[in-house]
């Protein structure tokens, strides 16, 4: 990875050329990007409920409903009925329309003297007032019509159109709405209000709002973000490079979507914004690091090389976690989420490649910014507001460690209370502004007639002609009465209504006969007469099942779920075992899907979390570190959903993504923070120092990124689309909180916890067998050895550096952890006499523990080495607290001393030094 980055730095032209070629190739694909505005992809794919819905559609026809409402002082005038007739005929002729119902089509079952009339109410436009009055009287006494196609007060009537969009017909909604709108436009006149509502209109409007955002607030948000960035860096480099890599990444991302056949949907539509937000985070981190190096006095190429070497690991980790986090969406069962998962994974990977390929060449070609050109700063804290601020913030953190943790704890506890009240409820209609046409129309339709939303309740006897059984139809009628009694629905129509009306009219219109006949033969004979296209919506082909068509105005998924539960409960209590009752329909499926989706999005975020935790645990070789690294990210998101719960904002498909996106960004900061901290810790072995160094190095990019994103998200509140506004507020809050957590909580947690222990490092350097066999640790259990090691400190020494100087006084002994050291003395003539070469596991300087005499020899590192330093105090502490371990330790120490004595004796006698004192690994 590092090598690849350095290669790119050395071959800037080649790298840029490759990017250019790929960009042109992928860019050429973009015009072929498919736009999918249908909502089919929102449904759960392998949901058994979906199969049931498909089956219900095959049996009873599509439920894709459009209602055209015609309002007038009196709809029963020749003029208005003429309008209704023309609209009905016009819509019946639309290629996608499968069924049109209005006063001019629906069977008006009515007896007139001894004659029975089953013709539509308005076959032709009435010629005079008398005929219009007759139509009015008929319509208002027809239970199938009133409240369904005509208002009780006669001031509104509806034309309902069922459409059957072909699968994959992505432009259906806009086309169909446009065609209906054109028909309406021809009939608009004073005194008449005509408008359409329904599934195609809602979906098309939804798509319009999303598109409008794409062209207005999203660009605004990007501009705000760039301005914030420009103000932060105060140099062009910091803005131009991120924007170039972002734009190229977006071209790649969209091109790859074409290559992999992914359509542009309401979800994949946010990909450009996502790539911009997450993509530029890396750039800022890398550019900051580069500037940091320049500040430290490096020349351009050195600064770039160091920056690339330092950045390679964190960037690989952040890209990996983000790609996996979004990629986890492909395991869900919702097509649109799967597509989004693929598109975002591809796009983020592309962004990684583009950033890596373009950023080093661009920085290389760009002149070093003036600020860094001359001044070589001795102390970077002197320069710039942020390092100074970070220093003060670090001190503040240390001083108010406990209050900060307490406040965090309280916030978290409060958030959990909020979580408890958080509801899952996707209310598509509430996404539109209060006074938008779609909301006024829906409200108007609901008030003047019946809600524009609907679902089916399929009552199935599972045997041919089972629906002709009087008990069956009585059950259907009973369920309808129950639904009406809940007050939650506007209207329901079923075959039972037709049979009841037919029975009444076959008995001269006597209301006493508006009942289900007692004989199934009679029902069969009525149905024979009524049978046809109109009845097919309510009764299946072999009369085994009835379909109750319910109209309502429950726009929220939560409210609808409550109603559906009541249907289930009623069915459980009243339906015999051989009859099943089940609600279905597009709205029902979306309802399930939206809840499922919100939950899935949260799940993907949990996955991202786990992966990040694991990576950090591996990085620090400590599970504790993994867990700790998550806290600063969990807290803001917990707070976000807690706040939503407290404010009564329900969890929906839109805002559930906040977590995933916010985490994608916040985690980048955490990874950079942790990696830097880890490096600093290995360098200084001082958590406090490491904390300050990390804050100074990482403070700038974290603040820049968080402020820019928060400002960018904040710009979204100027949208007219409610979910965008909510998203803007919540995401901005999350970004700021994440920044606060990153700058205050992470350092405290790092500092307060012995995160990376000496033991971890020792274990990482030496094989456990070597540790156990080390002379000092012999006979100690791993647990005991760990206690001893933890009391020491790990020192890194460069090759040629002295660890012990002869004549110095010291109170410490050492154990070699890595590398090799040489024990030597100088003879009188000044030549060096090597006494011993020590390898990992070997100890030296132990004499100091026994007597406080000056050191008797020189110890110098032959290779870069790490040594564990233990002082007398540590041994004392062990002896006091763990006498058994202490006893073993002192015995080992005595053995080491005895051994040394023997070596010395041998050496004196033979006058020869032992060439090498082998490490314990070789002894065993």
Partner 1 sequence: MIAIALLAVLALAAPARAADPTAAEIMKQQRETHRVKDEEERQALKLVSKAGATKERKLVRYLLSGAGDLDKILVRFTAPRDVENTGLLTWEGKDGNDDQWLYLPTVKKPKRIAASGKKNRFMGTDFAYEDLRPENVAANTYAMVGTEAIDGVACFVIDATPATQRQASDSGYSRRRVWVRKDTLVTVKREYYNKAAKLEKVETHRKLVNVAGPVWRADEIEMHDVQNGTRTLITVESRAVNRGLKDDFFTETELIR
Chain residues that interact with partner 1, rule: CB under 8 A? 58, 89, 92-93, 111-112, 114-119, 123-124, 464-465, 468, 506-507, 517, 519-522, 524-526, 528-529, 531-533, 541-542
Q: Token digits for 272?
A: 């450009």
Give all strands of the β-sheet with 832-838 in edge-to-edge order. Answer: 802-804, 858-861, 821-826, 832-838
- Shortest Cβ distance from residue 530 to partner 1 (Å)? 8
Among 65, 131, 132, 51, smallest CA distance to 97 is for 65
CA distances from 301 to 535, 798, 835 (A): 80, 25, 44
Torsion angle, CA of 417/418/419/424, rounded to 10 degrees? 140
Q: How far is the CB of 543 from partner 1 (least distance, A)?
A: 9
d(CA 183, CA 186): 5
Q: Which helix (H) or strand (E) holds 197?
A: strand 193-198
Q: How far apart are CA 736 and CA 447, in angstroms?
A: 44
Nearest to 319 by CA among 352, 275, 281, 367: 352
Residue 541 C-beta: closest distance to partner 1, Å? 4
Nearest approach, Cβ of 473 to partner 1 (angstroms)?
14
> Smallest distance, Å, CB 531 to partner 1?
3
Rank residues 465 and 795 by Cβ distance to partner 1 and give the closer one. 465
Please identify, using beta-carbon distances, which residue of 397 and 544 lies nearer to partner 1: 544
Q: What is the smallest separation between the CB atom of 576 and partner 1, expressed in angstroms?
A: 21
Half-sphere exposure of 423 (CA within 13 A, CB side): 13
Output the smallest distance, CB 453 to partner 1, in A: 26
Sign, CA torsion 9/11/13/16: negative
- We find the least distance from the C-beta atom of residue 139 to partner 1, in angstroms, to be 17
CB 850 within 8 A of CB 799: no
Cα distance between residue 698 and residue 241, in whole Å:
19
Instruction: Between 495 and 788, name the residue whose CB sits nearer to partner 1.
Output: 495
**Which of residues 533 and 833 has its CB atom nearest to partner 1 in the complex?**
533
Please identify, using beta-carbon distances, which residue of 470 and 478 lies nearer to partner 1.
Answer: 470
- Contact (CB, 8 A) for 632 and 740: no
Q: Residues in the chain, how many?
A: 924
Buried b / exposed e along 234-244 (16+ C-beta atoms within 10 A): ebebbbebbbb
CB of 515 to partner 1, least distance (A): 14
In angstroms, what is the minimal distance from the CB of 500 to partner 1?
Answer: 15
Q: What residues does 457 pair with on adjacent strands? A: 548, 583
Instruction: Give the chain's radius of gyration (CA, Å).
Output: 39
User: Nearer to partner 1 by C-beta: 123 or 153?
Assistant: 123
Question: Nearer to partner 1 by C-beta: 93 or 236?
Answer: 93
CB of 506 to partner 1, least distance (A): 5
Task: Report in angstroms how near the CB of residue 539 gets to partner 1 at its nearest.
Answer: 10
- The alpha carbon of residue 611 and the mean position of all alpha carbons in its chain are separated, in whole angstroms, by 14
Determine how β-strand 821-826 pairs with β-strand 858-861: antiparallel
For residue 165, what are its two tokens? 């969009």
Extract the tokens encoding 396: 């503040």
Least distance in angstroms from the C-beta of 250 to partner 1: 45
Q: Measured from the CB of residue 475, what is the shortest distance to partner 1 in angstroms?
A: 20
Q: How far apart are CA 279 and CA 357, in angstroms?
A: 13
Q: Closest CB to partner 1 among 214 and 520?
A: 520
Cβ proximity to partner 1: between 182 and 376 the closer is 182
State which residue, 92 or 411, has the beta carbon closest to partner 1.
Answer: 92
Closer Cβ to partner 1, 53 or 858, answer by number: 53
Q: Which helix (H) or strand (E) holds 157?
A: strand 156-163
Q: Kindly tell me which of 44 and 125 has the beta carbon lying closer to partner 1.
A: 125
Residue pair 605/667 in contact by the 8 Å Cβ criterion: no
β-strand pairing of 858-861 with 843-844 = unpaired
Query: Residue 103 or residue 794: which is nearer to partner 1 going by CB?
Result: 103
Closer residue to partner 1 in complex, CB, 147/470: 470
Contacts of 696 (CB under 8 A, 6+ apart): 380, 381, 387, 390, 391
* 427 secondary structure, DSSP code: B
| Beta carbon nearer to partner 1, 112 or 568 | 112
User: What strand order describes the sheet that includes 843-844?
Assistant: 793-797, 865-871, 812-818, 843-844
Alpha helices in 260-334 (DSSP H): 271-295, 300-327
Which is closer to partner 1, CB of 89 or CB of 795? 89
CB closer to partner 1, 331 vs 471: 471
| CA separation for the pair 222, 246 (Å, rounded) | 11
**Minimum CB separation from partner 1 for residue 477, in Å?**
19
User: What letters, b where the CB count within 10 A reaches 16 and e where it falls short, cover 197-220?
Assistant: bbbbbbbbbbbbbbeebeeebbeb
Q: Give the nearest distance from C-beta 119 to partner 1 in angstroms.
A: 5
d(CA 21, CA 354): 12
CB atoms within 10 A of CB 528: 8
Min dist. Cβ of residue 159 to partner 1 (A): 16
Q: Residues near 303 by Cβ (< 8 Å), separated by ≥ 6?
A: 290, 293, 294
Residue 686's φ and ψ, nearest 5 degrees, are -140, 110
Q: Do 679 and 698 touch, CB atoms closer than 8 A? A: no
Q: CA-to-CA distance for 475 and 478, rounded, in angstroms?
A: 5
Nearer to partner 1, 519 or 767 (CB): 519
Nearest by Cα to 178 from 212, 156, 148, 207: 207
Structure tokens at 852: 């406080």
With contact defined as beta carbons under 8 Å apart, do 899 and 918 qualify?
no
Write down the least CB distance from residue 135 to partner 1, Å.
14
Closest to 839 measured CA to CA, from 924, 922, 918, 895: 918
């Amino acid at each position: 990875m590092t090598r690849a980055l350095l290669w790119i730095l050395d071959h800037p032209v080649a790298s840029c050329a490759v990017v250019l070629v790929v960009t042109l190739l992928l860019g050429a694909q973009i015009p072929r990007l498919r736009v999918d505005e249908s909502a089919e992809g929102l449904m759960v794919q392998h949901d058994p409920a979906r199969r049931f819905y498909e089956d219900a559609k095959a049996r009873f026809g599509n439920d894709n409903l459009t209602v055209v409402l015609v309002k007038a002082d009196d709809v029963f005038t020749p003029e208005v009925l003429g309008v209704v007739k023309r609209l009905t005929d016009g819509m019946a002729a639309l290629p996608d329309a499968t069924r049109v119902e209005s006063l001019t089509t629906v069977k008006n079952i009515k007896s007139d003297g001894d004659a029975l009339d089953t013709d539509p109410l308005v076959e032709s436009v009435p010629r005079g007032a008398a005929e219009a009055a007759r139509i009015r009287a008929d319509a208002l006494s027809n239970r199938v019509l009133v409240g369904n196609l005509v208002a009780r007060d006669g001031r509104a009537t509806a034309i309902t159109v069922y459409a059957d969009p072909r699968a994959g017909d992505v432009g259906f909604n806009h086309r169909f709405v446009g065609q209906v709108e054109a028909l309406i436009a021809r009939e608009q006149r004073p005194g008449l209000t005509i408008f359409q509502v329904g599934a195609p209109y809602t979906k098309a409007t939804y798509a319009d709002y999303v598109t409008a955002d794409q062209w207005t607030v999203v660009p605004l948000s990007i501009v705000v973000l760039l301005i914030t960035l420009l103000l932060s860096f105060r140099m062009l480099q910091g803005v131009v490079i991120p924007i170039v890599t972002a734009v190229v990444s977006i071209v790649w991302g969209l091109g790859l979507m074409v290559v992999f056949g992914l359509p542009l949907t309401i979800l994949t539509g946010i990909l450009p914004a996502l790539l911009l937000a997450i993509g530029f985070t890396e750039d800022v981190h890398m550019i900051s690091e580069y500037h940091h190096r320049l500040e430290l006095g490096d020349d351009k190429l050195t600064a770039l090389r160091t920056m690339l070497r330092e950045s390679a690991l964190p960037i690989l980790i952040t890209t990996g976690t983000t790609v996996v986090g979004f990629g986890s969406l492909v395991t869900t069962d919702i097509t649109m989420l799967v597509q989004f998962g693929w598109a975002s994974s591809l796009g983020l990977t592309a962004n990684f490649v583009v950033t890596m390929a373009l950023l080093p060449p661009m920085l290389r070609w760009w002149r070093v910014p003036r600020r860094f050109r001359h001044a070589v700063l001795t102390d970077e804290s002197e320069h710039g507001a942020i390092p100074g601020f970070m220093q003060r913030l670090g001190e503040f953190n240390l001083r108010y460690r406990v209050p900060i943790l307490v406040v965090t704890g309280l916030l978290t506890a409060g958030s959990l209370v909020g979580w408890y009240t958080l509801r899952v409820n996707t209310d598509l209609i509430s996404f539109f502004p209060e006074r938008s046409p779609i909301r006024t129309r829906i409200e108007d339709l609901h008030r003047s007639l019946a809600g524009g939303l609907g679902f089916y309740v399929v009552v199935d006897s599972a045997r041919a002609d089972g629906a002709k059984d009087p008990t069956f139809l009585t059950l259907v009628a009973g369920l309808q009465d129950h639904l009406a009694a809940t007050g939650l629905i506007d209207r329901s129509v079923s075959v039972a209504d037709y049979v009841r009306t037919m029975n009444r009219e076959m008995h001269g219109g006597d209301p006493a006969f508006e009942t289900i006949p007692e004989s199934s033969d009679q029902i069969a004979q009525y149905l024979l007469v009524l049978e046809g296209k109109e009845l097919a919506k309510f009764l299946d082909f072999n009369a085994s099942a009835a379909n109750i068509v319910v109209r309502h105005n429950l726009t929220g998924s939560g409210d609808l779920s409550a109603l559906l539960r009541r249907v289930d409960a009623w069915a459980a209590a009243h339906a015999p075992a051989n009859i099943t009752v089940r609600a279905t329909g597009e709205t029902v499926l979306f309802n399930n899907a939206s809840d499922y989706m919100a939950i899935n999005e949260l799940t993907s975020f949990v996955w991202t979390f786990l992966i990040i935790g694991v990576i950090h645990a591996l990085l620090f070789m400590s599970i504790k570190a993994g867990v700790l690294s998550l806290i600063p990210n969990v807290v803001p998101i917990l707070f976000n959903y807690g706040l939503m719960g407290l404010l009564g904002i329900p969890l929906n498909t839109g805002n559930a993504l906040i977590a995933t996106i916010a985490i994608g960004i916040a985690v980048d900061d955490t990874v950079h923070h942790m990696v830097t901290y880890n490096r600093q810790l290995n360098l200084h072995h001082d958590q406090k120092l490491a904390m300050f160094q990390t804050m100074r190095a990482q403070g700038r990019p974290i603040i820049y990124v968080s402020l820019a994103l928060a400002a960018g998200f904040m710009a979204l509140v100027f949208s007219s689309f409610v979910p965008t506004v909510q998203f803007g507020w919540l995401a901005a809050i999350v970004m700021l909180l994440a920044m606060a957590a990153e700058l205050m909580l992470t350092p405290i947690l790092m500092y307060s916890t012995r995160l990376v222990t000496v033991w971890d490092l020792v274990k990482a350097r030496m094989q456990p067998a070597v540790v156990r066999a080390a002379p000092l640790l012999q006979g100690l259990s791993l647990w005991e050895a760990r206690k001893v090691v933890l009391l020491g400190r790990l020192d890194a020494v460069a090759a040629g550096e002295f660890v012990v100087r002869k004549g110095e006084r010291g109170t410490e002994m050492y154990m070699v952890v890595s590398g090799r050291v040489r024990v030597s003395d100088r003879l009188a003539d000044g030549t060096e006499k090597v006494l011993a070469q020590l390898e990992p596991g070997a100890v030296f300087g132990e004499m100091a523990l026994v007597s406080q005499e000056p050191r008797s020899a020189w110890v110098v590192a032959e290779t870069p080495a790490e040594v564990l330093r233990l002082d007398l105090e540590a041994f004392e502490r062990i002896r006091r607290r763990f006498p058994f371990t202490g006893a073993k330790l002192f015995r080992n120490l005595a053995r080491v001393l005895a051994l040394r004595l023997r070596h010395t004796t041998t050496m004196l006698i033979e006058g020869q030094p032992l060439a090498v004192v082998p490490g314990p690994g070789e002894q065993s």
